[in-house]
Amino acid sequence: MTVIPEPHLATRARPRSVLRQLLRNPAGVVGLLILLAVMLMAVSAPWIFPGDPLDMIATPLLLPGAEATYPLGTDAMGRDVMAGIFHGARVSLLIGVSATVIGLVIGILIGSIGGYFGGITDNILVRFTVLFQTMPSFLLVIILLAISTPSVTLIALSIGITSWPTVARLVRAEFRTLRNAEFVLAARTEGFSSWRIIFQEILPNALPAIIVTSSVMVASAILMESALSFLGLGDPNKVSWGFLIGSGREMLRSAWYLTAEPGLALVITILGLNLLGDALNDAFNPRLRER
């Protein structure tokens, strides 16, 4: 009976060492804390700020700190800016994570099939990937949103559809490297099907690179959604950070905080995701762990 070599089992024992390495990285801890804080904002928004954040509930253009009830002030229509930022975290994270999941699913399927089987299948999928990469992602998203009324679901789907080529190329490279590894050859000797080898043997060993890329994809999706909302292509019934920044741009001189506060929340979140991504890259990289 053939025994699957140890590299196959290494990925199952890795999470604890990766977590320890991540917690030893100050930048990674900061990024993780920032991300947890943003997630807490998103989860607690309905309880801390019940009701619709688009409701006009106060005197317009209250400066930050002018009233304890509205610590971050109000906009030109009397809407609570802090409520908008908390509820905006829900929309921004939802779109960022959903778009990333869609991009990962498409990219992993295309990249794994092409990288494992090779030959004409790989050539066709590579050309299909290159075709998508030649089209500007942001322009393609705008075209897809122009087909129907923008909504959170359509925005996430559009961003996800345009973000998969990077994942596909990464996964293809990992599969081309691992498809002739000893544990894969042993699995073939055992009579494993191609799909079982792809998803149970090779894919777990490619997960570190995919996880690191995911953090960058979430950040990119949040930025793209903010840009779309800033241009007026966001969901008009939902508050996002891009929506808040866009609604305050016309009053930048007289009410700077309307743009600065949600913009700061966006910058801090992207910074946290980038710090976490860099720390994960260091934790998953054996050469960097030895330093």
pLDDT in tens, 151-199: 899 999 999 999 999 999 999 999 998 888 888 888 888 888 889 999 8
The C-alpha atoms of residue 257 and residue 73 are separated, in whole angstroms, by 8
CB 223 within 8 A of CB 40: no
Q: Which residues pair with 80 in a beta bridge?
A: 74
Q: What is the pLDDT of residue 192?
A: 87
pLDDT at 15: 66
Predicted local distance difference test score (pLDDT) of residue 288: 47
Cβ atoms within 10 Å, residue 51: 11
pLDDT at 232: 84
Q: In whole angstroms, what separates CA 84 from the centre of its chain? A: 21
Cβ atoms < 10 Å from Cβ of 290: 6
Token match 């100050």: residue?
A: 26
Which pLDDT score, from 0 to 100, does residue 81 have?
A: 93
Residue 132: what residue type?
F
The fold adopted by the segment(s) 91-291 is MetI-like fold (1.10.3720)
pLDDT at 287: 53
Region of residue 182 (phi > 0: left; psi between -120 and 50: alpha; otherwise: beta): alpha
Stretches where the chain sits below pLDDT 50 are 1-13, 288-291
Helix (H) or strand (E) run with residue 95 in it: helix 81-117
